[in-house]
């Protein structure tokens, strides 16, 4: 099983769209895939039409449910979702009273190892205990950034933060996302991409916005569009990198 | 009702979308004796998009229990991909998975959506011949199990059949699951003529022999030869025990021929037994010596293979073929009125009770004579008598109240297992010694010979331990309650039964 964290400190960078489309393509290719919506805003959960469930406060506080019980099948064969409501109820509550809080997520994932080939983590922005958990659990980190100077700064912050942690060889791969070739600054960054960035660039495209309207991954409603094509290329590049990086 | 009618009724609760259907093409696998089927399981191996997919299902509901993708050929448990190996291994034991039922057809697929437009269920539908309601399989989605229950309820109300696709496929071939079993299950009538009942039993045993020949010749798995040999032993036992129901000349001739068959099948079985016990053997050795047994394993495999070849020659010989043919002719012929043997016209129950009681008395006599110092040969004799008694009781069990004779057979089986363990250990230790000698002459390594020496010691020790348990096992079998039951069930008032 390979765990791919999709993360940025900053919000609004196309993070959820990346996680949703990559996990969808992964399942389409026949890999048993789970998308874990760790973001309390629950955008991934919304895209898959899964309704959050409200459970009694007692059960929630005791953290009785394990991840396996909360998983929901999506409309796509081979792709399951762990909804946001599970995450924000269980994770934050449990993180505090654990001895090694940063390893909690890894523990929750452990029983799912045999069930999935790929687990995508759609992470909340900011650096928190949750993101530290993500760093510890992930086999690789995909960091979507908008090609602007400010975004490059946040990338620097992330690498700096990770450098201070013992994370072994976890690769950090920037992904240039929402790129608009009409903008001069975008073009400048695209010409000099950050180290280890994916060759594939996700363009700014209205199809990505329309995911919220169709409640589907882009390839389901606009397979020939530039966004769908870009995600397909990105997924292939990602799998290629994973095969090389993780043995 | 057609699938379309069904979908119309379901549309009251769910939005129903038909999605592109698929072709089903593949094979249901099971062991020759249907071990998966009997446990309520079905294993389907089919192709999906260039890949071979294994699906383990609950046979009745078709519910998927496990899926894996692997291009390997289904075979022995040790070679199966996970999780099939660990799930099916304990059921299959020494048996090989064989292709049982090929399947090909079209499936229509439907998605059932809730009010948010989210798929909560999938449904597979297959049109059925003869205007029966369509065959339906619910594919529950994780996290939406409640919806699956609601649909199940709905389908029951609508009268749709949730039928096992395997049973359906079997029926189309005019077969039934579990149509082979080595177990005896006759329904005899007490007043049936003894000779007709005996023929009925022997014909069934002949069927078992015939069914296993091909598996033995191909060395598919060791159980084919085992079942064939048991059927031969039972045949010989029935011939001896019920001799006065058939014409004496015929009995003698077939007894001799089946004795020959028992004899030529023996060597191959001996190697099978060693190979089956090999794991168990090596597990008992200190770990440093386990590897040293590898040359011994090769030795066993080579001899097993060459004896199987010899055996296959026997089973393809004219002598074997004409034995089966003439035997079938004899069993299917009408009894001749001119020369009626002494017991042929008696009722089967009279003959059975007399034979069982007589054999029971012999078992008691031999068992009681065995003391702690008695030689192993006496235990061996007792075992043979016990087997004869067991076969008789199994042949005729339908003539007696099931609860009572069942308990006695069980008690006898327990005693037989004890005797069998003792004797097998002795025989194996002896054979191992002979093999070690042969391997020494062919210059096997010191470590290997040492390991075999340890095995011989280990087996002899276990044999002595079993020997100590004999008197307790026999006392258990010959307890008052069993003695009473034997008398009650089998002692006949008439003494005219000869034999």
- Is the pLDDT at B387 greater than 70? The verdict is yes
Is the distance from CB of A198 to CB of A171 less than 8 angstroms?
Answer: no
Given this model, what pLDDT does residue B169 score?
72
User: Once rounded to an integer, what is the mean pLDDT over residues B175-185?
Assistant: 81
Contact B143 A48 (CB under 8 A): no
Given this model, what pLDDT does residue A61 score?
39
- Chain A residues close to B49, C-beta within 8 Å: 30
**pLDDT band for position B137 (50/70/90)?**
confident
Report the DSSP beta bridge partners of residue A199. Answer: none
Q: How would you classify residue B282: left for phi > 0, otherwise alpha for psi between -120 and 50, otherwise beta? A: alpha
Instruction: Compute the distance between CA of residue B386 and CA of residue B470 in angstroms, rounded to an integer.
Output: 14
Contact B118 A70 (CB under 8 A): no
CATH of the domain at A153: 3.40.50.300
Given this model, what pLDDT does residue B222 score?
95
Query: Residues 176..215 of A with a Cβ closer than 8 Å to B: which?
Result: 215
Instruction: Compute the distance between CA of residue B91 and CA of residue B93 in angstroms, rounded to an integer.
Output: 6
Domain assignment present for residue B184? The answer is: no
Chain A residue closest to B17 (CA)?
A75
For B143, which of A49, A72, A114 is closest by C-beta distance?
A72
Given this model, what pLDDT does residue A97 score?
57
Is the distance from CB of A3 to CB of A121 less than 8 angstroms?
Answer: yes
H/E stretch holding B386: helix B376-395
Instruction: Compute the distance between CA of residue A130 and CA of residue A153 in angstroms, rounded to an integer.
Output: 21
DSSP B295-362: HHHHHHHHHHHHHHHHHHHHHTSHHHHHHHHHHHHHHHSPPPSSS--TTTTSBHHHHHHHHHHHHHHH
Instruction: Compute the distance between CA of residue A193 and CA of residue A210 in angstroms, rounded to an integer.
Output: 28
Instruction: Compute the distance between CA of residue B361 and CA of residue B343 in angstroms, rounded to an integer.
Output: 21
Is the distance from CB of B42 to CB of B36 less than 8 angstroms?
Answer: yes
CATH of the domain at B51: 2.40.320
- Chain B residues close to A73, C-beta within 8 Å: 119, 141-144
Given this model, what pLDDT does residue A75 score?
92
Residue written as token pair 């048993």: A32
Domain total of chain B: 2
Chain B residue closest to A69 (CA)?
B143
Domain assignment present for residue B187? The answer is: no
**Does B404 share its domain with B456?**
yes
**Does B243 share its domain with B345?**
yes
For A73, which of B49, B117, B141 is closest by C-beta distance?
B141
- Per-range mean pLDDT, top range of A61-75, B123-137, B273-287: B273-287
User: Once rounded to an integer, what is the mean pLDDT over residues B487-497?
Assistant: 70
For B118, which of A30, A50, A71 is closest by C-beta distance?
A50
B49: closest CA of chain A, how far (Å): 10
Q: pLDDT digits over A149-208, tens only? A: 888 898 988 888 888 777 667 899 999 999 998 999 899 999 999 999 999 999 999 999
Three-state SS for B62?
A: coil
Domain total of chain A: 1
Given this model, what pLDDT does residue B293 score?
86
H/E stretch holding A187: helix A184-191
Least trusted range by pLDDT, from B26-30, B287-291, B356-360: B287-291
Given this model, what pLDDT does residue A161 score?
85
Contact B142 A71 (CB under 8 A): yes
**Does B270 share its domain with B152?**
no
Which tokens go with B121? 């269920």
- Per-range mean pLDDT, top range of A125-134, B126-135, B475-484: B475-484
**Does B162 share its domain with B281?**
no
Whether chain A has a CB inside 8 Å of the CB on B64: the answer is no
Instruction: Compute the distance between CA of residue B30 and CA of residue B180 in angstroms, rounded to an integer.
Output: 12
Instruction: Compute the distance between CA of residue A207 and CA of residue B127 in angstroms, rounded to an integer.
Output: 40
Contact B116 A51 (CB under 8 A): yes
Contact B142 A49 (CB under 8 A): no
**pLDDT band for position B196 (50/70/90)?**
confident
Domain assignment present for residue B181? The answer is: no
Who contacts B73 (Cβ-Cβ below 8 Å, separation ≥6)?
A: none
Q: What is the DSSP letter of B23?
A: E
Q: pLDDT digits over A40-63, tens only? A: 888 899 999 988 665 544 444 344
Q: pLDDT digits over B228-247, tens only? A: 999 999 999 999 887 778 88
Whether chain A has a CB inside 8 Å of the CB on B494: the answer is no
Q: Mutating which of B51, B142, B145, B147 best tests the A interface, going by the most A Cβ atoms within 10 A?
A: B142
Which tokens go with B471? 């008197």
DSSP A191-226: HSPPTT--S--PBP-HHHHHHHHHTS-HHHH-TTSH
- Chain B residues close to A72, C-beta within 8 Å: 141-144
Q: pLDDT digits over B314-331, tens only? A: 999 999 999 999 999 999
- Is the pLDDT at B338 greater than 70? The verdict is no
Which tokens go with A237? 């590049």
The share of chain A scoring above pLDDT 90, in percent, equals: 51
Tally A–B CB contacts below 8 A.
31
What is the CA angle B286-B287-B290, rounded to 5? 95
- Is the pLDDT at B144 greater than 80? The verdict is yes
From B121, B136, B171, the end of a domain falls on B171
H/E stretch holding B109: strand B98-113
User: Once rounded to an integer, what is the mean pLDDT over residues B99-125?
Assistant: 85
Chain A residue closest to B114 (CA)?
A49
Who contacts A33 (Cβ-Cβ below 8 Å, separation ≥6)?
A: A23, A26, A27, A78, A79, A80, A116, A117, A118, A119, A120
Is the distance from CB of B110 to CB of B19 less than 8 angstroms?
Answer: yes
CATH of the domain at B366: 1.40.20.10
**Does B271 share its domain with B388?**
yes
Beta strands in B117-237 (DSSP E): 119-126, 135-140
Complex confidence, ipTM? 0.79
Chain B residue closest to A71 (CA)?
B143
Domain assignment present for residue B388? The answer is: yes
Who contacts A219 (Cβ-Cβ below 8 Å, separation ≥6)?
A: A21, A24, A25, A28, A228, A231, A232
Of B19, B41, B18, nearest in space to B29 by CA: B41
Of A120, A87, A123, A91, nearest in space to A15 by CA: A123
A29: closest CA of chain B, how far (Å): 11
**pLDDT band for position B398 (50/70/90)?**
very high
B111: closest CA of chain A, how far (Å): 9
Residue B82, number of CB atoms within 10 A of its CB: 11
Which tokens go with B64? 């998927």
- Chain A residues close to B70, C-beta within 8 Å: none
- Is the pLDDT at B121 greater than 50? The verdict is yes
Domain assignment present for residue B424? The answer is: yes
Contact A215 B117 (CB under 8 A): yes
Range of the domain at A96: 2-245
Q: Average per-residue pLDDT in chain B?
A: 86
B145: closest CA of chain A, how far (Å): 10
Instruction: Compute the distance between CA of residue B401 and CA of residue B410 in angstroms, rounded to an integer.
Output: 14
Range of the domain at B445: 194-490
Chain B residue closest to A79 (CA)?
B142
**pLDDT band for position B132 (50/70/90)?**
very low
Helices A206-214, A226-245: axis angle to 10 degrees equals 90
Who contacts B195 (Cβ-Cβ below 8 Å, separation ≥6)?
A: B245, B246, B335, B341, B343, B344, B345
Q: What is the DSSP letter of A111?
A: G
From B139, B171, B203, the end of a domain falls on B171
**Does B151 share its domain with B229?**
no
Given this model, what pLDDT does residue A56 score?
43
The share of chain B scoring above pLDDT 70, in percent, equals: 92
Domain assignment present for residue B177? The answer is: no
**pLDDT band for position B280 (50/70/90)?**
confident
Instruction: Compute the distance between CA of residue A72 and CA of residue B145 in angstroms, rounded to an integer.
Output: 10
Q: pLDDT digits over B71-80, tens only? A: 999 999 989 9
Chain A residue closest to B66 (CA)?
A115
- Chain B residues close to A51, C-beta within 8 Å: 116, 118
H/E stretch holding A79: strand A79-82
- Is the pLDDT at B426 greater than 60? The verdict is yes
Chain B residue closest to A76 (CA)?
B119
A58: closest CA of chain B, how far (Å): 21
Domain assignment present for residue B217? The answer is: yes
Is the distance from CB of A174 to CB of A194 less than 8 angstroms?
Answer: yes
End-to-end CA distance of chain B: 64
Contact B142 A72 (CB under 8 A): yes
Who contacts B169 (Cβ-Cβ below 8 Å, separation ≥6)?
A: B28, B101, B103
Which tokens go with B489? 């069930």
Of B242, B426, B251, nearest in space to B352 by CA: B242
Domain assignment present for residue B111? The answer is: yes
**pLDDT band for position B165 (50/70/90)?**
low
Q: pLDDT digits over A65-103, tens only? A: 577 888 999 999 899 999 887 766 666 655 665 666 777
Of B122, B115, B49, B155, nearest in space to A73 by CA: B122
- Is the pLDDT at B386 greater than 70? The verdict is yes
A86: closest CA of chain B, how far (Å): 13
- Is the pLDDT at A12 greater than 50? The verdict is yes
Q: What is the DSSP letter of A51?
A: P
* B370 phi and psi angles, rounded to 5 deg: -85, 120
User: Once rounded to an integer, what is the mean pLDDT over residues B147-158?
Assistant: 80
Who contacts B361 (Cβ-Cβ below 8 Å, separation ≥6)?
A: none
Beta strands in B31-73 (DSSP E): 41-48, 51-58, 64-69
Compute CA distances B244 → B20, B344, B393, B493, B496, whole Å.
69, 7, 18, 19, 12
**Does B150 share its domain with B216?**
no
Chain B residue closest to A80 (CA)?
B142
């Amino acid at each position: 099983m390979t765990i791919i964290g999709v993360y940025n400190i900053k919000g609004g960078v196309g993070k959820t769209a990346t996680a949703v489309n990559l996990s969808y393509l992964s399942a389409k290719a026949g890999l048993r895939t789970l998308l874990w919506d760790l973001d309390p805003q629950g955008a991934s959960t919304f895209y898959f039409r899964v309704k959050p469930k409200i459970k009694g406060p007692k059960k929630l506080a005791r953290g009785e449910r394990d991840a396996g019980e909360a998983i929901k099948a999506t409309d796509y064969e081979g792709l399951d979702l762990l909804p946001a409501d599970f995450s924000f109820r269980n994770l934050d509550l449990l993180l505090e009273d654990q001895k090694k809080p940063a390893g909690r997520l890894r523990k929750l994932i452990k029983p799912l190892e045999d069930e999935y080939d790929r687990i995508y983590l759609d992470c909340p922005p900011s650096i928190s205990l949750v993101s530290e958990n993500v760093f510890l659990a992930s086999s690789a980190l995909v960091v979507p950034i908008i090609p602007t100077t400010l975004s490059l700064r946040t990338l620097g912050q992330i690498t700096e933060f990770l450098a201070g942690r013992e994370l072994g060889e976890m690769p950090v791969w920037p992904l240039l996302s929402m790129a608009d070739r009409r903008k001069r600054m975008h073009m400048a960054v695209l010409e000099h991409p950050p180290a280890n960035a994916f060759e594939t660039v996700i363009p700014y495209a209205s199809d990505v916005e329309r995911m919220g309207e169709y409640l589907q991954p882009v390839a389901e409603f606009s397979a020939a569009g530039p966004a769908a094509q870009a995600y397909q290329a990105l997924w292939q590049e990602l799998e290629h990198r994973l095969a090389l990086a993780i043995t | 009702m057609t699938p379309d009618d069904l979908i119309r009724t379901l549309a009251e609760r769910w939005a129903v979308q038909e999605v592109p259907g698929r072709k089903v093409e593949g094979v249901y696998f099971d062991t020759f004796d249907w071990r998966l089927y009997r446990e309520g399981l079905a294993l389907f191996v089919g192709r999906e998009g260039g890949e071979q997919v294994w699906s383990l299902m609950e046979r009745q509901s078709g519910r998927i229990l496990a899926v894996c993708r692997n291009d390997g050929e289904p075979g022995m448990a040790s070679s199966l991909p996970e999780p099939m190996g660990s799930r099916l291994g304990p059921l299959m034991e020494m048996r090989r998975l064989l292709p049982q039922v090929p399947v090909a057809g079209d499936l229509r697929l439907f998605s059932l959506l809730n009010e948010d437009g989210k798929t909560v269920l999938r449904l597979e539908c297959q049109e059925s011949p003869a205007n029966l309601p369509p065959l339906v399989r619910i594919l529950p989605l994780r996290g939406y199990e409640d919806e699956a229950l609601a649909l199940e309820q709905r389908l029951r109300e609508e009268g749709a059949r949730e039928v096992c696709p395997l049973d359906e496929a079997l029926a189309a071939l005019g077969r039934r699951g579990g149509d082979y079993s080595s177990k005896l299950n006759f329904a005899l009538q007490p007043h049936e003529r003894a000779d007709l009942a005996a023929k009925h039993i022997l014909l069934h045993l002949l069927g078992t022999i015939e069914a296993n020949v091909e598996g033995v010749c191909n060395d598919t798995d060791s159980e084919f030869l085992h079942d064939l040999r048991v059927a031969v032993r039972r045949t010989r036992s029935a011939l001896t025990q019920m001799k006065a129901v058939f014409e004496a000349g015929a009995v003698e001739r077939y007894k001799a021929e089946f004795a020959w068959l028992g004899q030529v099948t023996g060597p191959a079985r001996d190697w099978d037994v060693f190979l089956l016990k090999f794991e168990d053997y090596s597990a008992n050795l200190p770990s440093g010596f386990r590897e040293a047994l590898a040359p011994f394993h090769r030795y066993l495999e080579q001899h097993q293979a060459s004896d199987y070849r010899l055996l296959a020659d026997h089973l393809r010989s004219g002598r074997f073929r004409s034995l089966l043919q003439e035997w079938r002719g004899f069993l299917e012929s009408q009894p001749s009125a001119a020369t009626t043997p002494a017991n042929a016209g008696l009722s089967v129950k009279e003959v059975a009770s007399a034979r069982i009681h007589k054999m029971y008395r012999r078992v008691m006599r031999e068992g009681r004579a065995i003391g702690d110092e008695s030689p192993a040969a006496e235990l061996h004799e007792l075992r043979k008598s016990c087997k004869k008694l067991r076969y008789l009781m199994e042949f005729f069990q339908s003539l007696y109240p099931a609860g009572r004779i069942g308990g006695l057979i069980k008690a006898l089986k327990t005693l037989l297992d004890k005797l069998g363990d003792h004797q097998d250990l002795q025989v194996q230790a002896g054979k191992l010694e002979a093999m070690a000698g042969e391997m020494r002459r062919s210059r096997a390594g010191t470590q290997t010979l040492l390991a075999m020496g340890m095995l011989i010691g280990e087996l002899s020790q276990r044999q002595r331990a079993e020997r100590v348990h004999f008197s307790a096992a026999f006392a258990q079998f010959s307890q008052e309650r069993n003695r009473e039951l034997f008398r009650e069930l089998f002692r006949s008032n008439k003494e005219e039964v000869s034999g």
